[in-house]
Amino acid sequence: MTATIAFFNALERLPKYLEIEALNGIDSGIEKLNQHIPVTDVGIAVHICDHVDIDEGVSGIAYCADSLNLRIHPDSPAIHTDLADRVSRLTIHEIHHVLRIRSCGVRDWTAGEVLALEGLALACEEFLGFEASPVSGGISDARLEVLFDRIAPNLHTPKSDWQWIYENDQESNAKFAVLYRMGYRLVQQWLSQTGNNPISAISTPYREILSARF
């Protein structure tokens, strides 16, 4: 079994043609990944809900080693532009998380693992043909160095003070959490140094990936 998809649109808040477009996007993302790595036994639940940034229109979360959730805001103007491509990219990102969690057996979430996880998923989007994500840029090198210095003592201990990486960076006016920028930069450095790609590296321990910088 490749993937089990449950699309929850019982109230039909999302027009049928957009539901079909979203499903096509999921299929496209799985197909792109399957060209490089088998995507098997993955459950995908799609919910139509308001718990999404209305400017973005779509979001996702990978819960564990076998399932993920995609969310679509039915009132977002953004979903009327290239919804299939947006969902395809999101599917790739979240399935990469699922496969990494599965292959690495992640139990205790450290800052180091979170940075590697998000950085690899962002790099995977590009590897499979998408342009660089907006969440991977927008912070200067100087600001990134400050953030790297701040996180360095707290990379490996789950209970240490690193949750701030989930917050928006007010100093640089970054709209999205700084963990994406940090993770993307760390992963790109490591991929450049080693010649790996974000799919061949899917089971690489985060300590090895972060060795490019720390």
Q: What is the pLDDT of residues 160-193, one digit of tens each?
A: 999 999 998 888 888 889 999 999 999 999 999 9
Structure tokens at 132: 């660089």
Average pLDDT, the chain: 95
Mean pLDDT of 10-24: 97
pLDDT of residue 2: 85
- Mean pLDDT along residues 63-74: 95
Interstrand relation of 67-72 and 168-169 (parallel, antiparallel or unpaired): unpaired
* Domains in the chain with CATH codes: 3-104 (3.30.2010), 111-210 (no CATH)
41 and 16 in contact (C-beta within 8 Å)? no
User: pLDDT tens across 75-111, in order?
Assistant: 999 999 999 999 999 999 999 999 999 998 877 789 9
- Alpha-carbon distance of 131 to 120, in angstroms, equals 15
Q: Give the pLDDT confidence score for residue 159 in this predicted structure.
A: 85
Residues of the chain with pLDDT > 90, as a percent, come to 88
- The answer on pLDDT for 198 being more than 70 is yes
Q: Helices marked H in the chain — which ranges?
A: 16-34, 83-104, 111-127, 141-151, 178-194, 206-210
Token reading at 115: 């940075």
- CA–CA gap between residue 34 and residue 52 (Å, rounded): 28
- When pLDDT is averaged across residues 130-139 and rounded to a whole number, the result is 93
Handedness of CA 182, 188, 194, 196 (dihedral sign): positive
- Cross-strand pairs, 46: 7, 70
- The confidence band for 1, taking pLDDT boundaries of 50, 70 and 90, is low
In whole angstroms, give the CA distance from residue 198 to residue 96.
Answer: 9
CA 59 – CA 52 distance, rounded (Å): 6
